Amino acid sequence: MSEARKKRYFGTDGIRGKVGEHPITPEFILKLGWAIGRVMKRDGKDGILIGKDTRISGYMFESALQAGLSAAGVNISLLGPMPTPGVAYLTRTLHAQAGIVISASHNPFYDNGIKFFSSEGTKLPDELEFAIEDELDKPMETVDSKHLGKAGRIVDAAGRYIEFCKSTIQSKVDLAGTKIVVDCAHGATYHIAPNVFKELGATVIAIGSEPNGLNINLDCGSTKPASLQAAVLEHQADLGIALDGDGDRLIMVDHKGEEVDGDEILFIIAESRRKTESLNGSVVGTVMSNLGLEHALQERSIGFVRTLVGDRYVMEVLKKEGWLIGGESSGHILCLDRTSTGDGIVSALQVISAMFESDSTLFELKSGMKKYPQHLVNVAADKTFDLSDSDVINQAIRDVESELAGSGRVLLRPSGTEPVVRVMVEGVETAQVIRLANQLADVIIESQKNK
C-alpha cells in the first residue's frame, strides 16, 4: 500500500467524533459494521466481539454495528460495558477474528468512536483499515437470509477479565491492610476495577463508579484527578488510582495526595523490571515525555527512545525492537510482558507490585525521578504555516537552546487536531522555562504577521 495514501476516517486510534456529526452517525456506523464484516469474511473466519464504554450513545451504535455485521454474514458476541484492554484480551483468548470497542476514551459523553483489535489483541494494521475504507465506497448488500450473522452475549466477560488482571502480578502480592481509592471515571471499569483490588485483599473506596450515560469523564478520572486527590487525603488511603472512560489510561495519587503521572509510572515500572532483570531492552516514550524521565533512566543505564505523540507510535518501536515497556505522559502505559495493549488496571498492578517488592510507598518510588518544570503554550496558527521554513523561528529556537545550555529541551509541534502550534520548553528553573516558552510563542505570532 502506498505510504502517500491518506486515510479518510481512521485516525491514530480508530474513528472518533461528535455524536450525530459525520462519521459518528447511526447510518455510517451501520455501513462501517458491514464493511468490516466484508473484510473479515475474506479470510473465511468468523466471530467478532463488541464491547463499549458507558456513554449513552453506545446503545445506539452497538445496535448499528450489530446490524451491519449481521448483514455481512458475520456472527457477533456482545460483551456489554467492557474496558478497551478487556476487549483486546477477550478477542485474543476467545479466538475471535476481531474485537470492536465503542468508545471515545477520555472524551466527554457527547463524543464517541470505534476502535478495532486484531485477533492477536493488537490494533489493526494499516492495510486492513484501508480495506475497510474501500468497502465503505461500495453499495451495501445483505447476504442471503440463511447466511445472516447471529448475535449472542458473553455473560461472564467481566469475570474473565478480572481474573486476567489479577494474574499479571505474583500471587504472593497480598494487599490486605492496604487502602486504595479507585476512580473509574464513571466509565467502563466501574464494575471491574474495584473488584480486582478487592479480590487481591485491599480495602477499596470506589468513586466515579455510578455511570448514567452522561457523566463519563466528567470532572473525574485520569484527566481530572483532583477529586481522587481529595478522596485519598480524606480516607487516609495508601494510594489512589484514576482510570479514564475506557480504562486504558492511568494516573495515580500517592498517600500525600500528590499526582503521579504517566512519566513517573513508566519510571517506576521500568526501574522495577531492571531490578528483577526482566526489562529486556530500552524504554520508549514520546517527544512530550518529561526530560526528568530520560535522565532518571540514563542514571540507571536504561536506554530511552522517543517517538511521535500517540501510543500507536510507541507500540511500533517496541514491536520493531522486541522491547517491552513504553508509554506516554498522559498515562497510556504499555507493558508488553503482561498484555497486548495499554491497560490502566494492569499498569496500576505493576506499580503496586513494585511497592510490595521494595517495601516502599508510592511517594518513595516516584522520588527516584525528578521531574523538570515544563511549560506549554498553544499558539494559533494556520495549517499551512511551515515552522521549519522560518529562519527567524529557527534562530529563536537556537537562542533558547543556547540559554538552556544542555539542561533543558525545546519542542515546537503543530497540533494534529487543532489549528495551533504547541510550544513546549523544559528546564531546571520554572521562571526561566515560562519566560522562554512565551518568548518563542511571541516569535511565532510575529512571524505569521510578517509572512
Q: Which residues are catalytic?
A: 105
Three cell numbers, residue 351? 506499580
C-alpha span between 210 and 231 (Å, rounded) = 16
Please answer whether residues 410 and 435 qualify as being in contact, where contact means their C-beta atoms are separated by less than 8 angstroms.
no
Radius of gyration of the chain (CA): 23
Secondary structure (H, E, C), 286-341: ECCCCHHHHHHHHHCCCCEEEECCCHHHHHHHHHHHCCCEEECCCCCEEECCCCCC
Three cell numbers, residue 320? 520493531
DSSP state of 411: E
Closest to 369 in 3D by CA, of 279, 262, 275: 262
Please answer whether residues 258 and 228 qualify as being in contact, where contact means their C-beta atoms are separated by less than 8 angstroms.
no
C-alpha span between 421 and 386 (Å, rounded) = 10
Residue 415 identity: S
C-alpha span between 50 and 86 (Å, rounded) = 11
Cβ neighbours, 10 Å, residue 419: 12
Residues 6+ apart with CB under 8 A from 376: 422, 423, 424, 437
Three cell numbers, residue 303? 536506554
C-alpha span between 177 and 174 (Å, rounded) = 9
Three cell numbers, residue 184? 473509574
DSSP state of 213: S
C-alpha span between 236 and 214 (Å, rounded) = 30
C-alpha span between 279 and 266 (Å, rounded) = 12
